[in-house]
Amino acid sequence: MKNFEELRKKLKKTNEKKILTLVCAEEEDALEAVCIASKEKLIFPILIGCKKKIENIILEKELNFDFEILNETDKKKSVLNAIKLVKEGKTDIIMKGLIQTDIFLAAIVKNVSGIKRNHILSHIALIEAKSKNKIYLISDGGIIPTPSIEQKIEIIRNSINFAKKLDINIPKIALLSASESINPKILSSIESAYIAQMKWNDAIVEGPISIDLAISKKYCIVKEWKGRIRGDADILITPDIISGNILGKWATLTNNGEIAGIVEGAQVPIVLTSRASSINEKLNSIMLACGVSNEK
Amino acid sequence: MKNFEELRKKLKKTNEKKILTLVCAEEEDALEAVCIASKEKLIFPILIGCKKKIENIILEKELNFDFEILNETDKKKSVLNAIKLVKEGKTDIIMKGLIQTDIFLAAIVKNVSGIKRNHILSHIALIEAKSKNKIYLISDGGIIPTPSIEQKIEIIRNSINFAKKLDINIPKIALLSASESINPKILSSIESAYIAQMKWNDAIVEGPISIDLAISKKYCIVKEWKGRIRGDADILITPDIISGNILGKWATLTNNGEIAGIVEGAQVPIVLTSRASSINEKLNSIMLACGVSNEK
């Protein structure tokens, strides 16, 4: 995909309104993004949180949209309510509002009472690189601090699942490192080499590979790179949360390209933007969640 | 500094020609950059390497400049020759040509026979972020794979030394992490907290800190960040080589801003660009090395 305009067109194919549950809804920008998405007929929102605070924000910001509200002032209970809605099939998407990420995710990832579908939950950022005329998927810069090799494999599996929903059927996946060599001093480079030689039927997985070989054809020519990814990677897998986080945020803050983020691996898509994310990023992420949520 | 134009003006204050030794000079783009720098009267070049190959390139590319040539076909011996020139005070700068980085650096970092001045050598990239109208210093994305806490402290010291040469006297240094919290699962966040509370007289050192708080004032306002770095960091210290490498390369490949790189910590500045670096990056790096090399 070239840019968010194309992404938006692709996602608009689904005409059906999705039910989105905003957990701890007393957050201004989240409510504003939900209001816009609701007016665009993408979603019908359920707002869980302190009714009084939510209504005050809606009044103050003159947000005018239809919604259902569940009054719950306890943050942990708000998450449990949302989980219940997922289990009862009463919501298609959940979104984090004014609640700390770790508290929000703790109940969701629990093995029996939670709503994991895959082995792990992982974050996927969609970054529009204007000068490259391409959207890259970056994972994981949001959830797993220092993934084990098993978790890395699951991060990759989640990203392949997610890419399929965007019609990227055989994604090219670059396991990023500082260079294309296996360096015994860099554990992740050894792990990447191991992962890359596994059997992947539905993806091209290559690593360790430096980001220049992953995204620049020119560099591949100069370096005489013989790999299957030749500057045309679709998905960039970073070795840990810090490198993924730095890459995603730097791209957003300096490129002027658009961004969206989602959590993959639960029974429903999860919108997990930061409090400081722009309304546009929140709206993009909602749109993305609508596009990839299951048809009813 | 806002951009490379300003950097170039600042560095041009020194009028004196520097002697630059290009090690394993049989690399086309390196020779071309050296030729331009020589014509601009920034440097007088000494070329070490296979005389025949070097002369062939110069002939073929019609490079027209004055130089001295030392014929040496053995790559390791070429480095040793350059080290000898440094020790004899016969060169102001050394530059890596067509030789692997680890082989090039191995002899340089040796304790007695090498030419280290500081405890460690570290790489510093200068990245022009056009949309931010600022040049950031990024370290270390080039030399030390997984720095120990002692090495991180030295990486920071090297960056402070280097910043001073660019008249950034009290640099604001951000120790990057995925967020501003200390996470027991992320060792580097604990190390950053430790380093940040050390006594730093000549710099403001803060961490762990996410890159949005380091480079965006707006994010600091939204997140009600009370730190001393409020979106105005000068130097970004990454926890390891991979995150530094990804950040520097992504910035170069997508921002359309200029870039330069240098190795700090030796008796002379070292230009260490990759074979795939553009001629412009090589030229910028030579210019930078000239600007920060000691006055005679």
Q: What is the pLDDT of residues A16-31, one digit of tens each?
A: 899 999 999 999 999 9
Residues in chain A: 296
- Neighboring chain A residues of B219 at a CB cutoff of 8 Å: 253, 276
Residue indicated by tokens 């993924």? A244
Give residue A63's Cα distance to chain centre.
26
pLDDT in the model for residue A296? 52
**Cβ(B289)–Cβ(B93) under 8 Å?**
yes
**CB neighbours of residue A9 within 10 Å:** 10
| Residue whose C-alpha is closest to residue B96's, from B241, B261, B243 | B261
The span from the CA of A85 to the CA of A18, in Å, is 13
Q: Which among B129, B188, B256 has CB closest to A131?
A: B256
- Neighboring chain A residues of B186 at a CB cutoff of 8 Å: 145-146, 241-242
Higher pLDDT, A255 or A53: A53
pLDDT in the model for residue B268? 97
The SS3 call for residue A170 is coil
pLDDT in the model for residue B82? 98
The span from the CA of B215 to the CA of A253, in Å, is 8
Nearest CA in chain B to A132: B254
Nearest CA in chain B to A141: B178
- Neighboring chain B residues of A280 at a CB cutoff of 8 Å: none
List helix spans (H) across A109-240: 149-165, 187-196, 211-215, 217-222
Mean pLDDT computed over A116-129: 95
pLDDT in the model for residue B254? 86
pLDDT in the model for residue B16? 84
CB atoms B242 and A186 under 8 Å: yes
The span from the CA of B205 to the CA of B171, in Å, is 8
Query: What are residue A237's DSSP bridge partners?
Result: A139, A175
**Cβ(A23)–Cβ(A79) under 8 Å?**
yes
In chain A, DSSP finds a helix count (H) and a strand count (E) of 11, 11
Give B273's pLDDT tier (boundaries 50, 70, 90). Answer: very high
**Cβ(B271)–Cβ(B121) under 8 Å?**
no
β-pairing, B122-129 with B134-139?
A: antiparallel
Predicted confidence (pLDDT) at residue A262 exceeds the cutoff of 60: yes
CB atoms A241 and B188 under 8 Å: no
Predicted confidence (pLDDT) at residue A144 exceeds the cutoff of 70: yes
Give A14's pLDDT tier (boundaries 50, 70, 90). Answer: low
Residues 6+ apart with CB under 8 A from A210: A176, A177, A178, A179, A180, B245, B249
The DSSP H or E segment spanning A73 is none
3-state secondary structure B230-270: CCCCCEEECCCHHHHHHHHHHHHHHHCCCEEEEEECECCCE
Mean pLDDT of chain A: 94
Q: Which among A177, A223, A250 has CB closest to B250?
A: A250
The span from the CA of B215 to the CA of A254, in Å, is 9
Q: B289 burial class (0-12, 13-18, 19+ CB within 10 angstroms)?
A: buried
Closest CA of chain B from A193, distance in Å: 15
Q: A68 burial class (0-12, 13-18, 19+ CB within 10 angstroms)?
A: exposed
Mean pLDDT computed over B229-257: 93
The DSSP H or E segment spanning B136 is strand B134-139
Percent of chain B with pLDDT over 70: 98
- Neighboring chain B residues of A186 at a CB cutoff of 8 Å: 145-146, 241-242
Closest CA of chain B from A36, distance in Å: 21
Mutation for testing the A interface, residue in B179, B183, B249 having most A CBs under 10 Å: B249
Predicted confidence (pLDDT) at residue B255 exceeds the cutoff of 90: no
- Neighboring chain A residues of B238 at a CB cutoff of 8 Å: 242-243, 246
**CB neighbours of residue B136 within 10 Å:** 24
Could you check whether the bond before residue B208 is cis, i.e. omega within 30 degrees of 0?
yes
- Neighboring chain B residues of A131 at a CB cutoff of 8 Å: 253-256
CA B48 to each of CA B85, B92, B106: distance values in angstroms, whole numbers, following the listed order = 11, 15, 17
Nearest CA in chain B to A246: B211
**Cβ(A292)–Cβ(A262) under 8 Å?**
yes
The span from the CA of B134 to the CA of B137, in Å, is 10
Closest CA of chain A from B213, distance in Å: 10
pLDDT in the model for residue B200? 96
List helix spans (H) across chain B: 4-11, 28-39, 51-60, 75-87, 101-108, 149-165, 187-196, 211-215, 217-222, 241-255, 279-292
Predicted confidence (pLDDT) at residue B243 exceeds the cutoff of 60: yes
pLDDT in the model for residue B295? 63
| Residue whose C-alpha is closest to residue A97's, from A263, A284, A274, A285 | A274
- Neighboring chain A residues of B275 at a CB cutoff of 8 Å: 222-223
Nearest CA in chain A to B102: A183
Chain B residues in contact with chain A using a Cβ-Cβ cutoff of 8 Å: 129-132, 141, 145-146, 176-179, 183, 185-186, 188, 210-212, 215-216, 219, 222-223, 238-247, 249-251, 253-256, 275-276
Mean pLDDT computed over B20-31: 97
Higher pLDDT, A14 or A273: A273
Give A8's pLDDT tier (boundaries 50, 70, 90). Answer: confident
Mutation for testing the B interface, residue in A102, A242, A245 having most B CBs under 10 Å: A242
Residue B17: DSSP 8-state = P
The b-or-e profile of B198-237 (16+ CB within 10 A means b, else e) is eebeebbbbbbbbbbbbbbeebbebbebebebbbebbbbb
